Amino acid sequence: MTALEACALSKRYHSICALSDCSLMIPPGSVTALVGPNGAGKTTLLHLAVGLRRPTAGSIRVLDGLVPGSPGALRGVGFVAQEAPLYRKLSVAGMLHVARNLNPVWDGAYAVGRIDQLGIPLNAMVGALPGGHQAQLALTIALAKRPRLLLLDEPLAGLDPLARHEFLGVLMAAVAADGMSVIFSSHVLAELERICDHLVLLSRGRVQLAGPVDAVLAGHQVLTGPSDRVTSLPATMAPIRIAQSDAQAHLLVRTRNGREPIPAGFVVQPAVLEELVLAYLSEPYATALPGPEPASSFGPTR
């Protein structure tokens, strides 16, 4: 069973390649962090998953094989864009009425109850709401569809810390209650580390990492030791980032199995998700580890 599966997925906009040969599988019930720099292809991937775009090559399926944009997928997939599609000149109640008429599945009692719980007046004009309340309204509309898969494209952009905290609280309460899958694109790495159990890292239109967060972290280590011993690292360790002075080196390495012998003089620490993501985004990627990758591997997709 899968929440989303892509195979050799590519998308071009004329001469621009937004995604290139991307293959990944996201399991059901997961909360997936979709991370990458601007222009990495995150929004394109979400638009393909919701059916707003069509692939140039390859395939993408949601909810155990449904074609994005098909009737079954439209019923089961919710989407919150970065620029929430809200009608600013409508009241909150009017916006909920429009959403009810646009969605074949709609839980009106949930929508009204959630808005009341958030303290948002139903007679308030959408355009007059603060940014945090507009984001909560967009999330409430998506959740009232009772989706099996929820796609969120930078929903925290522009929100202050309190609004982000409240947004994530509502989201995780819904995940706990309904068991839906979530794919969450964001640059706010600290929040993602707190709520996500799966990771997809895009850069230059390609999948660089994909897998459960625990497995991704377990497959990386931070080493600190003498600079002159860096070349003695085992061949099964791929340096992702090296910060080096004449005397000391600080390395983030990707390992085959986490049990490689460590060169004398090096201290090993576990990898932290934010440091790992930033390393992959800011440095040239290490070449693939030699030899065949195991079936559970999450390594860079070339």
pLDDT in tens, 116-172: 999 999 999 999 999 999 999 999 999 999 999 999 999 888 788 888 888 999 999
Residue 259 tokens read as 């049990």
Stretch 223-246: mean pLDDT: 86
Centroid of chain to Cα 213:
11
Three-state SS annotation for 219-282: CEEEEEEEHHHHHHCCCCEEEEEEEECCCEEEEEEEECCCCCCCCCCCEEEECCHHHHHHHHHH
Sheet with 4-13: strands ordered across: 16-26, 4-13, 57-62
Stretch 39-49: mean pLDDT: 95
Q: What percent of the chain has pLDDT over 70?
A: 93
Distance CA 191, CA 31 (A): 12
- Under 8 Å between Cβ of 286 and 276: no
Stretch 3-26: mean pLDDT: 95
27: buried, middle or exposed (CB in 10 Å: 19+, 13-18, 0-12)?
middle
Least confident of 36-50, 70-84, 269-283: 269-283
pLDDT at residue number 260 = 77
Q: How confident is the model at residue 84 (pLDDT cuts 50, 70, 90)?
A: confident
For the chain, what are the domain ranges?
4-212, 220-282
pLDDT in tens, 238-290: 888 888 888 899 999 988 766 778 878 899 999 888 888 888 887 554 433 33
pLDDT at residue number 284 = 53
Judged by DSSP in three states, 23 sits in: strand
Range 4-212: architecture per CATH: 3-Layer(aba) Sandwich (3.40)
Q: Over 60: is that where the pLDDT of 302 sits?
A: no
Q: Over 70: is that where the pLDDT of 80 sits?
A: yes
pLDDT at residue number 224 = 93
pLDDT at residue number 213 = 93
Q: How confident is the model at residue 91 (pLDDT cuts 50, 70, 90)?
A: very high
pLDDT at residue number 274 = 87
